[in-house]
Structure 1
């Protein structure tokens, strides 16, 4: 169940990043509300996942998977460019996540 909680937390954290970009410095009320509500939901589900994961490992997984997701979504839907350096960075993050999982801490 902790993996499901972590996946939900990642989805909400990805929503936070997209909504914050559209909130125009919190001037747009709709996107500001989405940002804040998604952030609260992301934190809630992360806290549920951290009942099983070690805090450092769970937080690292949450932020890194969300970061990769946000980067990919930006490239697919918001015309943000992926260059070789970004792709190498994504590969390194994924390698780090795999390494954390293989450490047997969750």
Structure 2
């Protein structure tokens, strides 16, 4: 169940990243509310996942996978460029997450 909680936390953290960029320095009220609400939901589910995961490993996986998700969503839907350097960075992050999992994280 902790993986499900972590997955939900990642999805809402991706929403945080996209909403925060759309909030334009928190000058757009609806995007600001979306940022805050999705951030609260992401944190809530991360907290549930951390009942099982080691805090360092769970938090690292959460932020890493969410960061990759934000880059991918930005490239697919927000006309942001995804060059080879970003692709290499994503590959390195994914390798790190796999390494954490192989360490016996949860």
TM-score of the superposition, structure 2-length normalised?
A: 0.98
**1:24 Cα offset (Å):** 1.3
For residue 12 of structure 2, what is the aligned residue in structure 1? 12
> Aligned pair count?
106
Deviation per CA, 1:60-84: give whole Å up to 9, x if none.
0000000000000000001111111
> How far apart are the structure 1 equivalents of 2:12 and 2:66?
9
SS in 2 for 1:81: coil
Q: Note the 1:74-93 alignment, pairs <5 A.
A: 74-93=74-93
> How far apart are the structure 2 equivalents of 1:14 and 1:105?
22
Is the counterpart of residue 104 in structure 1 residue 104 in structure 2?
yes
For residue 3 of structure 2, what is the aligned residue in structure 1? 3
After superposition, the CA RMSD in angstroms is 0.5
SS in 1 for 2:104: coil
For residue 60 of structure 1, what is the aligned residue in structure 2? 60
For residue 46 of structure 1, what is the aligned residue in structure 2? 46
**1:105 Cα offset (Å):** 1.9
